[in-house]
A and B are shown apart, each in its own frame.
Chain A
């Protein structure tokens, strides 16, 4: 018996969709606020639309604190959302624990950034995987079924032979192996969507690639929909079909990975790509330094800038950016490429040119 059903539906079908997803964290109230009626919140995620399709990887890129993890947790229903909708197979879902939550997470599973922290150091690999299988009814009925399912899982994440790993404790494994176990645990639920929150950023350079390649392999074999969260835009290019760029809680650009990374439209994306280490730009050729990169300080999310949140740092900010919230605008070059930037509002373009 195989615990993980292969390919349930044709590739390209929408598995998970976020519409206008918003999350505000309340800020701890201070004593003096007790007397006023102010309620400060952290605008961690504002009005985010995101679609995960079967067999596709969507990358979410952005600097630290831009709200990437929050999106992943919202999608995993680990946080209640402030606004917006999450649709699983086109159906609105709002679960708060209980059986509904379990049903949901049998389809949507999450992988965490830090494999050192996401496995409980007091339990064996066997325990972790068995729980995942049992909760979602994938453990079969007999001990033999379970053993088989465990072996399958470990093989799937290329931890072979399985016996060598099953009874180990997490601390006895290397980082890459741990992350594989974490992936196996997610697979144990037999999900259709995987939310991978910076799954490799804590891993050693030399083993990162192995895990990414494994995920890609799983996407192909199991037709998983994967959300790949990273701050390394180069790996998004390498791994993801689509890339979304996030800045201060909002999506600012999205589209086909190759397009977004090769011809970025939004000034922030440009900055990001410009800043990424580039071996071809050797030390001597520091002419690139001339570009104004803006200051590096991310904005406060409690009182985010009005209009476009990037405008205080944007080298080409216009008056309008200060006041009006930019809407996603189609970029002409490739279908599906968009950016939330007034530069691409056709009227304004004209203005800029004048």
Chain B
């Protein structure tokens, strides 16, 4: 419990730090959102209209940074992330809520699959050292060094086309509207296959490697020998004793690497035109859309934090030593 409270305190602190960072970074960005907007559309606006845009965006007020900071918090507590500039006057929260599910599903599912697949293979490679499983390592090392986006683009080139089963872009078929029905869901799954595969291929090797190393380390622990000495079956020793213990460091590693994974998927979303937050962020950057940028960065950070917290809870459940009372 104590451990848990400590973690929560840490997350609150991190969230605070991230939000503050998030507040300041866009303020250091040079340039001006109104101009960026005009440039984005290579548009032609009268100076009067430009003035009115400044007013609309709330950029006219001369507030102290501190005041802005307080306002920002105040807004956050009301769940208000402001209005997007690029998609003016759509609220940022609306944009995020439409794109977040995509990212969450894609990243979430692939990460979990990648984690379990990688861990499983790692257990094999670590437990049956010297067998075929060792051959896995060089291949995975190479694949993990390939940039996500490169792999994605090649996948698009090789696997998509007019008659291909794999769509080259988007999150679902055109003409469809997101809904839980038999038209939309298969289409969404179909569209997610390639991005998911890309993420999977480039992220799975990390898990294989770290799990293998942990397995090797754990294998030489006394309790493994004891488990063998107890005459337990090889399977049981491998899973309940070795893998179970080797998993622990990987679980916390899992949580911490989420940040990296999110970074990677951002690129995958860009390449596959996947309607997730990563792509939104990319667009918001180009358009100087502070509120959207802030909102997305905040959401990404908070998702990572939440995932971390979940992983921590999992760790808590998996490792009795952290449950020390008192």
Contacts and interface: CB of A to CB of B under 8 A. Distances in A.
Q: Do chains A and B touch in the complex (CB under 8 A)?
A: yes
B182 interface: no
Contacts of B2: 30-31
A96 B80 CA distance: 54
Contacts of A31: 2, 5-6, 9
Nearest to A30: B2
Interface in A123-146: none
A23 B132 CA distance: 57
Contacts of B6: 31
A168 to B, nearest CB: 28
Contacts of A30: 2, 326
Nearest to B5: A31
Interface residues of A, number: 2
A30 B324 CA distance: 12
Interface string B1-25: 0100110010000000000000000
A30 B1 CA distance: 11
Interface in A1-48: 30-31
A28 to B, nearest CB: 10
B interface, over-half SS: helix
Contact-size category for B: under 10
Interface in B1-57: 2, 5-6, 9
A30 B326 CA distance: 8
B325 to A, nearest CB: 11
A31 B9 CA distance: 9
A31 B326 CA distance: 11
A298 to B, nearest CB: 18
Contacts of B9: 31
B312 to A, nearest CB: 15
A261 to B, nearest CB: 35
A31 B7 CA distance: 11
A30 B6 CA distance: 9
B99 to A, nearest CB: 37
A31 B2 CA distance: 7
Interface string A84-103: 00000000000000000000
A183 B52 CA distance: 82
Nearest to B2: A30
Interface string B300-326: 000000000000000000000000001
Nearest to B326: A30
A31 B6 CA distance: 7
B261 to A, nearest CB: 31
Contacts of B326: 30
B11 to A, nearest CB: 14
B6 to A, nearest CB: 7
A161 B9 CA distance: 60
Nearest to B9: A31
A290 B6 CA distance: 49
A29 to B, nearest CB: 11
A31 B1 CA distance: 10
Contacts of B5: 31
A180 to B, nearest CB: 31
Interface in B58-85: none
Nearest to A31: B5
A262 B25 CA distance: 76
A350 to B, nearest CB: 44
A31 B4 CA distance: 10
Interface string B75-112: 00000000000000000000000000000000000000
Interface string B173-200: 0000000000000000000000000000
B282 to A, nearest CB: 40
A139 to B, nearest CB: 43
Nearest to B8: A31
Interface in A113-127: none
Interface string B239-277: 000000000000000000000000000000000000000
B263 to A, nearest CB: 33
A31 B8 CA distance: 11
A63 B9 CA distance: 39
A30 B5 CA distance: 9
A48 to B, nearest CB: 28
Nearest to B6: A31
B47 to A, nearest CB: 57
A102 B6 CA distance: 40
A176 B9 CA distance: 49
B89 to A, nearest CB: 44
A261 B220 CA distance: 42
A30 B3 CA distance: 9
B323 to A, nearest CB: 14
B248 to A, nearest CB: 22
A33 B326 CA distance: 11
B106 to A, nearest CB: 37
A302 to B, nearest CB: 10
B5 to A, nearest CB: 5
A84 B5 CA distance: 38
B126 to A, nearest CB: 27
Nearest to B4: A31
A204 to B, nearest CB: 21
A85 to B, nearest CB: 35
6 contacts: A30-B2, A30-B326, A31-B2, A31-B5, A31-B6, A31-B9
* Top 6 A-B pairs, shortest CB-CB distance: A31-B5, A30-B2, A31-B2, A31-B6, A31-B9, A30-B326
Interface of A: 30-31
